Structure 1
């Protein structure tokens, strides 16, 4: 697995993830429908054109959050994470629209040994997602419970 173990992370390191993804109307519709979210801001183009300041549908923010973290996984935690412990300080400072292309960075903010498990540690990431114009569309802190290398 390409994920890093606890010992391999360095506080202050910023990952510039190479994966990018253009988001689509289908992504928005599927995610909103799968999560039973009937918000017209995501699924009703006519409503958005006539009733909102945006003039077009916004991507579902939980889809954006999941995509941002998902893009980071291959470079950081795939196969070496035990669990996500939480996400905090989630913000969406600029809208993400259908047709935008997302790219992501992840900074290692904190690293500490587990108090309960000698085979694990906690890494805190700050993930940032940007559109193709480098506008910040999402940011969050995520705490990941990570495996240590076997002795």
Structure 2
């Protein structure tokens, strides 16, 4: 008799996350001109810096830049499978967002997430708030984007049932 073993990919529950840990997300993402044009036009951002290579060539960077909102979305999105897939209640907001260096079509974006704080929710039993710093680098290791955001996560059923404090720090 064989027992079927199913392993469901998921993110981590609040009580499984340690403050100070850094998660490096894989794979990286090589961004393309097509990504840039599609994202820019889908979001109705008609900025020539993303759409007009001739005009962008006359600007300080000499070529089109990736749309910064695409960069931010990709940076946060890269963390989902490892951290929040199926364990998130809500994205609560961003404290800071910065783009210290441009990302260009053809660059490869790699990302990591550092856990800054966590605490149980005072108003929502079984849930807690996690503060994360996401950082994205290009293929040369140069930081191209960084943000600090807060998300609400579930506490695992086991920890919640046992009355554990969710490992809040």
Q: State the 1:2 CA deviation.
A: 2.0
Q: What does residue 27 of structure 2 align with?
A: 19
In the alignment, does 2:140 pair up with 1:133?
Answer: yes
Question: Residues 35-63 of structure 1: CA distance to partner in whole angstroms, max 9, x if unpaired?
Answer: 1111000110000112x011110000000
- TM-score under structure 1 normalisation? 0.97
Q: State the 1:86 CA deviation.
A: 0.4
**Partner Cα separation in structure 2 for residue 59 and residue 95 of structure 1:** 7
Question: Residues 7-62 of structure 1: CA distance to partner in whole angstroms, max 9, x if unpaired?
Answer: 00110000011221000001100111001111000110000112x01111000000
Q: What does residue 107 of structure 1 align with?
A: 114
**Partner Cα separation in structure 2 for residue 89 and residue 142 of structure 1:** 7
RMSD: 0.7
2:56 aligns with one of 33, 48, 53: 48
Segments of 4+ moved more than 2 angstroms? none
**Partner Cα separation in structure 2 for residue 108 and residue 24 of structure 1:** 30
Q: State the 1:105 CA deviation.
A: 0.8
**SS of residue in 2 equivalent to 1:115:** coil
Larger Rg: 2
Q: What does residue 119 of structure 1 align with?
A: 126
Question: How many residues align structurally?
Answer: 150
In the alignment, does 2:83 pair up with 1:82?
Answer: no
Question: Residues 96-127 of structure 1: CA distance to partner in whole angstroms, max 9, x if unpaired?
Answer: 00000000010000001101111100010000
Mark the runs of 5 or more structure 1 residues left unpaired by the alignment: none
